[in-house]
Chains A and B, each alone.
Chain A
Amino acid sequence: MSAETATGGIAYWLRRLGGGVTGGIANLGYASRFLLAILWYTPAAFRRIQLTLREIYFAGVLSLVIILMSGLFVGMVLSLQGYESLKRYGADEQLGILVALALVRELGPVIAGLLFASRAGSAITAEIGLMKTTEQLAAMEMMAVNPVARVVAPRFWGGVISMPLLAALFSALGIFGAYLVGVRLIGIDAGAFWGQMHAGVDFWPDVTNGIIKSIVFGIAISLIAVFEGFGAKPTAEGVASATTRTVVMSSLAILALDFVMTVFMFRGATGV
């Protein structure tokens, strides 16, 4: 490779890197403005609360099966794995607290968030993207109806409200699954299982931290879903790639936000 070609190659990659970074920052700016627009039109959307209730049904109620089933199985597996580890140290009666803390603090919000992004986030993006492709959003605009107020804000809030409820149900079913395996199958004393959990899990900070995480995840997933749908190219390919981006971006956002929030919550709890 000649020196000139190598220089051209470096310039090309630098341009691509610069383009990627500035594009990413611009997108972040658009998303922030989009969030402000949603908040601005939220009172108008809430005046017809049935629109938001309908979205809670589509995003929340219709996600119940996958959330509840996943919660149950995760709790059961966690119980089996936890018992195997705790038994080595003679602490098998601590199973209740282990499962409860793991689910309430971490697994409940994170796994429910990942499932919610896949199930409801992708559906929201695809629906808005298809509305754009079939000119339904343009028709709304031409009827002097703002699509952000009529279509986007109710879906955003439907997701934000549904997510913490789904995470709570995920954790509840997970604990029930752990009870089935730990107490019913393995034979740990039920009193010890529930008693340890009762004594070791505090509403503040354990449960509240989990709730805060699930609310933040709900905001992130819902914003990404409506933003990608609204900005999707009005073609079949455009909607498909927007839907994929929603799942990928939401999953990465959940994991990154979880790490950041856990660091702050851990520092807050321990003073480290």
Chain B
Amino acid sequence: MSPTAKPSASRAPAGIATWRVEPGAAAVELADVTFGYDSRTVLKGITMTIPRGKIVAIMGGSGCGKTTILRLIGGQLRPRSGTIRVGGLSVPDLDADALYDLRRKYGMLFQFGALFTDMSVFENIAFPMREHTELPEELIRDLVLMKLQAVGLRGAAHLMPAELSGGMARRVALARAIALDPMLVMYDEPFAGLDPISLGVVGQLIRRLNDALSITSVLVTHDVYESLKIVDYLYFVSEGRIVAAGTPEEVRASSDPFVRQFVDGEPDGPVPFHYPAPSYRDELFADVG
């Protein structure tokens, strides 16, 4: 089956639950996607392919529409135009039940973890298992401990989210995101606000879990240094458009002004330092004569 072909049971929950992408086929495809709120257009003709089993980063400055792309893939938002396919399924065309069934194959790590504050670490990871499976309690316990062991926090199972550091919370959220062995994991700013050690740990965990579990990862971030170490491909988004793309090697060698400004952290360039404003001189001397 080609990656763009619709599965025969695209609206049947059972069909989605058992559906698999063919080896080599794209896990996620966006074609000419446009999205906006009221009169403001956030994304303008976004086209990208995320192959199965790869880690793809979507990079760009704050407010450029990166997280919106994740929300579109997750079906939380609907595009104005264009197509969004996950494993061949057209996400905007799914009804509520089919969308919820598809989401069972997703894992998502939110920017600050989004752990349930009234549940312990153990309960947080057990949550999706209890919601979607009929597994006996002993098996859930073993699975939770295995997930926690994978992120190095088995000893923190009894802690509450308020007792965790930022890095630990991110790792618990990662364990929860892979609780049901998803097909696709989306990471929204997984490196934001982490100390260098936690940053390295989370980065390596993303790579290791992606390879060990044969999942596909989409990473929304503006941490160039950490991303270049772990991802397979990068898309650069600016003002709602893809302005550059390539492998980490291509990005490092790129002479594209935007990529250079982003990678080198230059304050001015294609992304201007100054917010659009009238002439400085005119404004300063507005009251004079």
Contact = CB atoms under 8 A, between A and B. Distances in A.
Nearest to A141: B76
A32 interface: no
Contacts of B115: 136
B74 A143 contact: no
A141 B100 CA distance: 8
Contact of A135 (B74, B100, B101, B110): B110
A19 B120 CA distance: 45
Interface stretch (B20-28, B127-135, B237-245): B127-135
A146 B96 CA distance: 10
Interface residues of B, number: 20
A230 to B, nearest CB: 15
Contacts of B127: 143, 145
Interface string B72-116: 001010000000000000000000000011011010101110111
A164 B288 CA distance: 71
B117 interface: yes
A138 B103 CA distance: 12
A136 B100 contact: no
A56 to B, nearest CB: 16
B131 A145 contact: yes
Interface of A: 131, 134-136, 138-139, 141-146, 150
Given A142-B74, A143-B127, A143-B131, A134 B103 contact: no
A136 B115 CA distance: 6
B110 A139 contact: yes
B108 A142 contact: yes
Contacts of A136: 114-117
B108 A139 contact: yes
B110 A144 contact: no
B219 to A, nearest CB: 16
B111 A135 contact: yes
Interface string B132-166: 10000000000000000000000000000000000
A143 B104 CA distance: 6
B114 A144 contact: no
B162 to A, nearest CB: 12
A134 B132 CA distance: 23
A135 B112 contact: yes
A213 B101 CA distance: 42
Contact of B100 (A131, A134, A146): A146
B80 to A, nearest CB: 21
In the complex, the 4 A-B pairs of residues with the closest C-beta atoms, listed nearest first: A139-B114, A144-B103, A135-B114, A142-B108
B110 A138 contact: yes
A131 B127 CA distance: 16
9 contacts: A134-B114, A135-B112, A135-B114, A139-B114, A142-B76, A142-B186, A144-B101, A145-B128, A145-B131
Contacts of B131: 143-145, 150
Contacts of A141: 76, 103
B125 to A, nearest CB: 11
A117 to B, nearest CB: 22
A142 B103 contact: yes
A143 B112 contact: no
Nearest to B180: A143
Given A136-B114, A136-B116, 16 more contacts: A131-B117, A134-B112, A135-B110, A135-B112, A136-B115, A139-B110, A139-B116, A141-B76, A141-B103, A142-B103, A142-B106, A143-B131, A144-B103, A144-B106, A144-B131, A144-B132
Contacts of A145: 127-128, 131
B216 to A, nearest CB: 15
Contacts of A143: 103-104, 108, 127-128, 131
A144 B100 contact: yes
Contacts of A144: 100-101, 103-104, 106, 131-132
A255 B112 CA distance: 42
A150 B127 CA distance: 11
A110 B111 CA distance: 44
B106 to A, nearest CB: 6
A144 B129 CA distance: 11
A135 B110 CA distance: 7
Contacts of A150: 131
B114 A138 contact: yes
Contacts of A131: 117
